[in-house]
Amino acid sequence: GAGVSQSPSNKVTEKGKDVELRCDPISGHTALYWYRQSLGQGLEFLIYFQGNSAPDKSGLPSDRFSAERTGGSVSTLTIQRTQQEDSAVYLCASSSYQVGKDGYTFGSGTRLTVV
């Protein structure tokens, strides 16, 4: 597609439920990043995928968070047993370079609300 696509755009879930967020990067972009933005905060880096390589998961906030990228393209971010502090906008970005020298292209994000 022309841009980075994220779905759903909005998600309201009950505390304790699992949620899955999806990101379709720009075709051909090998680098994919997940960030989250909590209210009044800057963007917090979560995880980075380069092609099919195994990601460094150390940036994930807890072991309830996991992410995968299938076939070097689509990525899903899964949050298990959601908590209220998980409420945030989750942003995905892709890039044609490992280093974001041209800046990434961000999707519009998924707004997650845990009630």
Partner 1 sequence: DQQVKQNSPSLSVQEGRISILNCDYTNSMFDYFLWYKKYPAEGPTFLISISSIKDKNEDGRFTVFLNKSAKHLSLHIVPSQPGDSAVYFCAAEAGGGADGLTFGKGTHLIIQP
Considering beta carbons, is residue 20 or 44 the nearer one to partner 1? 44
Q: What whole-number distance in Å separates Cα of residue 106 and Cα of residue 25?
A: 9
Q: Reduced to 3 states, what is the DSSP secondary structure of residue 52? A: coil
The piece of 14-22, 63-71, 76-84, 100-108 that touches partner 1 (CB under 8 A) is 100-108
Considering beta carbons, is residue 73 or 110 the nearer one to partner 1? 110
Q: Are 15 and 82 in contact (CB under 8 A)?
A: yes
Q: Are 65 and 46 in contact (CB under 8 A)?
A: yes
Quick check: 99 binds partner 1 (CB under 8 A)? yes
Considering beta carbons, is residue 50 or 76 the nearer one to partner 1? 50
Neighbours of 84 (CB within 10 A): 9
Q: What whole-number distance in Å separates Cα of residue 54 and Cα of residue 70?
A: 11
Quick check: 62 binds partner 1 (CB under 8 A)? no
Quick check: 96 binds partner 1 (CB under 8 A)? no
Binding stretches for partner 1 (CB under 8 A): 4, 31, 33, 35, 40-46, 48, 50, 56, 59, 91, 93, 95, 97-109
